[in-house]
Amino acid sequence: MASSLPLATDPDPDRKRRREEIGSGSVADDTPPPKRSAAAAAGDVVLRVVVPPNRIGGVIGKGGARIQQIRAETGAGIKIVDAANRNEERVIIISSGYHDNEISSAESALYSIAKVILKESEDSIGTLNTVAAAAHTVAHTIRLLIAGCQAGCLIGISGQNIVHIRNASGATVNILAQNQLPICASVYESDRVVQVSGNVPEVLKALEIIGHKLRENPPKNPFPVRPRHNYSSTIPYPSSHLPPSSGELFHQADHVTSEMMIAEKLVGGLIGRNGYNISKIRIESGAAIKVSGTKGEGDQRLINFEGSTHQVISARMMVENYILTQLLPQYPS
């Protein structure tokens, strides 16, 4: 899609003021947000996008310039939910009023934010060497949080709606299981993740269709903005699968190394077909990741991480999260 979505006009200054109040609590703001209920106003269009920690800076922009520009251009309220540390995913809550048969300001803001995230992703992929780039086809991904009651409008009877979204956009669109919710999800346990992957035009086209369906099928209750869980940088794992790792960071200026040991049977799933999974983690974190042979006990494999402190911590968290959500459920024992 060559051009961005048309912007919805809003002649009602009171509603615009209400939206600005929702959006004023960004992490980029120097002043505290005005006192307001944590939930968006009833009747608003509310969209939530999950942003990886290494993309949030690009969305905010220097001194908050980019997020303020998106607010000004779209008229949507935009709030970036606080995280306990900089290495956790963030939720951006986008809200606005709307008029019948018009694209809402929230949809336009989602489109603008998604373009920033996808451009950052493209720039990262461009840093791969020619051999790696030729060997792997790396999909661009955007993830949205939706209320459980909204999943039906995206799936449709016998899955016809989600098939239409896939066919019309060319993107891969999946609604993930509830046990795959990120830590930054809301307190509503019924929340679901919509994952959209593909090339940039495909992802943007899918988001356009999804945004329209979510506008027409709002959740029954407003969203709170509190995290679903208490934040923690430590993720517990069954010791039978992940023994204590050599997790210390060894510094030389801002270049650090770290080691992690995982069960041999998890390595294939972590690497993925043709190295897809491990390549995606390398790209998104910026860290160098090497899976080595055994160290110590024969059923354990060593993973080495190298890069800046931020890159290494991000890569470790991505590996741990992938093992916890994707691999360990396959080995319940």
Q: Tell the CATH superfamily of the 250-330 domain.
A: K Homology domain, type 1 (3.30.1370.10)
CATH of 13-216, one of 3.30.420.40, 3.30.1600.10, 3.40.190.10, 3.30.310.210: 3.30.310.210
Q: Whole-angstrom Cα distance, residue 194 to residue 214?
A: 11
On the 0-12 / 13-18 / 19+ scale of CB atoms within 10 A, 110 is buried
Q: Read out DSSP for 123-186?
A: HHHTTS-HHHHHH--PPEEEEEEE-GGGHHHHH-GGGHHHHHHHHHH--EEEE--GGG--TTSB
Residue with tokens 């991480």: 305
Record the pTM: 0.56
In terms of Cα–Cα distance, which of 267, 254, 237 is closest to 311? 254
Give the pLDDT band of residue 137 (cuts 50, 70, 90): very low
Structural contact between residues 202 and 139, judged by C-beta atoms closer than 8 angstroms: no
Cβ distance 97 to 15 under 8 Å? Answer: yes
Rounded distance between C-alpha atoms, residue 227 and residue 185, angstroms? 6
Query: Does 129 score more than 50 pLDDT?
Result: no
Of the candidates 183, 140, 138, 174, the residue with the CA atom closest to the CA atom of residue 278:
138
Residue 68 has pLDDT above 50, yes or no: yes
At position 269, the amino acid (one-letter code) is G
Cβ atoms of residues 94 and 142 within 8 Å:
no
pLDDT exceeds cutoff 80 at 143: yes
Region 52-59 average pLDDT: 90
Residues of the chain with CATH 3.30.310.210: 13-216
Q: Where in the chain is the domain with CATH 3.30.1370.10?
A: 250-330
Instruction: Tell me the per-residue pLDDT of 281-314, one tens digit each, with 9 for 90 and over.
Output: 887 778 888 888 765 556 788 888 888 877 888 8
Among the listed residues 87, 74, 179, 91, the one whose alpha carbon sits nearest the alpha carbon of residue 142? 91
In what order do the strands lie in the sheet containing 140-146? 77-80, 90-96, 45-51, 140-146, 192-198, 172-175
Tell me the per-residue pLDDT of 250-260, one tens digit each, with 9 for 90 and over. 444 467 888 88
* 211 vs 28: CA distance, rounded Å: 25
**CA–CA gap between residue 330 and residue 333 (Å, rounded):** 9
191 near 221, Cβ under 8 Å? no
**Cα distances (Å, whole numbers) of residue 174 to 90, 151, 215:** 20, 10, 19
Distance CA 107, CA 104 (A): 5
